[in-house]
Amino acid sequence: MPADEKPKGPASYFPSIEKKYGKPIEHWLTLVRARKGAKHMEVVSWLKTEHGLGHGHANAIVAYVFAE
């Protein structure tokens, strides 16, 4: 894949998130979309405490959804 076709920003974390947590990225995006009325860091904290995601992965998912 040419360098200009690689995902950028938060989406660049998606392959490692899928590999580490064993769920498709759409699973995580759907969970966060359901909490879109909450503040960014509230959702990051929720993903970390309730689902065991690391801070960087949780932050990337939330940033991606909130930018939609």
pLDDT tens column, 26-67: 999 999 999 978 999 999 999 999 999 999 999 999 999 999
pLDDT for res 31: 97
What confidence tier does 2 reach under pLDDT thresholds 50, 70, 90? low
**pTM of the predicted model as reported, rounded to 2 decimal places:** 0.86
Residue 15, helix vs strand vs coil? helix
Backbone conformation region of residue 54, classed left if phi is above 0, alpha if psi is from -120 to 50, else beta: beta
Higher pLDDT, 29 or 5: 29
Residue 1, pLDDT > 90, answer no
